[in-house]
Structure 1
């Protein structure tokens, strides 16, 4: 009978010691929101939606010193060492996946049969995909998402998710694209990735409930910024970039809308000029 209290006391001492150790090991990062651990989708707290700084880099060695909370990167060229360093700095990592097009030099290009390849796409050497062929595209796109997850990304931005707006070589309609994009959002979540909508401005109002954030190119130049407000009104971040003009000119508009805005060169190297946060 006397053994049980001693065992209970030992367990209590061990639990107390473990709690103290966790407190000592937990780093203090001020107001920075911690990045979710691998295996969980990136959270986007509504209270922080207007306060992110971001970086979009697809060419050149990743610069981890950039003063940004969110990095949008290429999952193929970005190394696991680079993502590990960024995660150690508590950066949020978003991978850019081309879901509506394939390029001949893509590592998985041979997995897309000729029957789903259409006209020349937006990227040099790319072709649009027939997004109505979900059964054919889903396994390949799922593996693209898994590559992101395996390298430590917690979110995915869907590029070329607007083939219906272009001469894709297929009779794609608004509803075809809408269904495809919603399926992709569900696929991303099933793989523990937070889904983000890139461009596809005409469908923002319909798709904002399905996605956690938006990435937009040149809404100021194109006069489309107000159409992105469904994301802002839902407390979701809008990561916006302009390639021309001055931040002195467009930041007043976009920051006023609640966007995280930067100016970049079209080559998307490490250089950026960011709008000041409110």
Structure 2
């Protein structure tokens, strides 16, 4: 240590420059602390302890840099200090890479706000209502009562669907009805079905109801009924629509199957669906 001190080239200029560097470092550290606190305050999911830790890391990093610059004015070699800092930085990046990715993604999600607490979202094959947004994950509750933690990085990298963004969501119910000769036409069947959908509980009245003919043969027709409802009430509203349409068609003595589980387009003939 004595040899290292003796090797320093200390004079008036070096002392003055070192003093100026110390003052500048102190001012920069103060400004960095304040700026970091304001920035982290915009991320409410971060706990106070984590915010304090981040502020301290930024503060110590600036002080370490200032000390290295000040020592360089005395002719001291700062290469070992830089080497240690690089090694520590690389180790931290490797160890905390996943945490850092999720934290950065969490900052983006909470500043850009593509989702909010209470929204129903679809991400990475999971559908649920957002319960919490934190520095690590998006916590959602599924319709089955399961709590799922979706890593922020995965939510940001994968397609993200927000079913609540526009305040309403459209659902589809499929009707397969036998159309015998001399019976009601497909237009009449569609009219009965649409009237039943409009009267079902939970169906929005200000958005249009749509009936689409998907397949027709001489003995059977397949219709899709599309309607709008509150984004969080899909299961209940679809169930009400299925019951209402099935009852309405049964009252007309029509042989029909009504389902909210719309299958993919089949390769079989329409009369066998």
Fold shared, TM-score > 0.5 on shorter chain: no
User: What band does the TM-score fall into relative to the shorter chain?
Assistant: under 0.3
The TM-score with structure 2 as length reference comes to 0.26
Higher RCO (Cα < 8 Å, 6 or more apart)? 1
